[in-house]
Structure 1
Amino acid sequence: MLVLLPPSETKASGGDGPPLSLDTLSLPELNPVRAKLVDALVDLAGDVPASLAVLGLSERQAGEVARNAELRTSPTMPALSRYTGVLYDALDVPSLTRVERGRAAERLGVASALFGVVLGGDPIPAYRLSGGSVVPAVGPLGGLWRPVLTPALAEREVIDLRSAPYSSLAKIPHAITVKVVTEDGSGRRQAVSHFNKAHKGLLARAIVRSRATPQARNLVKIAAAAGLRLEPVGERAFELVV
């Protein structure tokens, strides 16, 4: 079972791994598109104003362009250490045991505008590219990724925790979906926006701490063991009530 997380705009700096080698990444069938995008971003980084416009950045964020310029030469670190922010703070990989970190590396994947999907242990450099970006040399990312990413995920059991911009990069109609909701005094529910990522991080943490292989039939039990209220609302759809 693959738990597919959204990425974060922010990335940790540095790393102690060797420079990017696409051959070390999971899902090698994605490598031709990965290579095309790496080439396009490195080339685009040669024009800083154009890069800022494409990436939706301000001049104060020009350091992000410099990261893209060094995609082929900068050090790498495991994907779950590279991504930062609310979700990854809640997941809190450093506090997991060695065995749990091993599960995280295998069970957790991250949707990526640049790499399509990486597993938690895949070594990647810092970069900047969002799911909604349109890179001049390749066009909209959805049109680039869907033809290869959708079939790559078709044979995998997936718990889909992606955000909307990354859901558009590949359709996974068979996936288990989880919606984070809040419940008022009358029992009416509405989607949670502000703390959505934090609760998804807690659910992902519960899944990697569990010895049981996550499946639709035991997901509620896995969540409950971590103090989370997960309820089925369809055969493969759940709501995480917070």
Structure 2
Amino acid sequence: MQLNLKTIENVGHDVYRIILSSDEVLTYEAGQYLLVKMGANDERPFSIASSPSKDRFIELHIGATPENPYAWDVIEQLRTKGNIQVSLANGKAYLQPDEKTIVLVAGGTGYSYVKSIAYEAVTQQLENDIHIFWGAKEFSQLYEAEALTNLAHDHDNIFFHPVVEGADEDWSGATGLVHQAVLNHFTDLSHLQVYIAGPFPMAKVAREDYTNAGLPNSALFGDAYAFI
């Protein structure tokens, strides 16, 4: 499938928010990812940030610098050619709600995974309580914090928890590691359904800590767990 570039925007800290369109029907689940085909044996995964039931486009959030050709080459191809070849849809860690409280955990640009699920839950009018934990080194890296604050304000069942690792004295919110912020908020995780995206080391330690706090393996979702 070919996706055509509509907009590309640097939202700060080397993160690009990209909107792509297609002449074909876009079929995927909230929380899945696409593979960008850069060569015969070169496919690169990126989480889809858009909501499949609401949006008629594909949104990506890509962290990229010239020193990181794996992601930067995709940005450059979009800028020069105006399109990319992709395969939809990949991953089994998509939204699969039950009656439990939903917890969405994102480190950095793992937010794209969480965004798709959060906004799809709103579109589906899920009544579950939904807690969004998004962590970064600095608050300015939480580039859609205002949008999530507004989302929580508009929906009584949605709660946004920004987490900053290295906060200064003016920060009054949660500090430290984002996966730990979940444990600080919920001492018992047995009644939760958790979706997580971020660096593999974060996902690995989260699985260990959440299991110890009572979260069943069947209630933990993340693409990283297919590889670690």
Name the TM-score, length of structure 1 as normaliser: 0.29
Structure with the larger RCO, 1 or 2 (CA within 8 Å, 6+ apart)? 1
Which structure: greater strand fraction?
2
Is the radius of gyration larger for structure 1 or structure 2? 1
TM-score (norm 2): 0.30
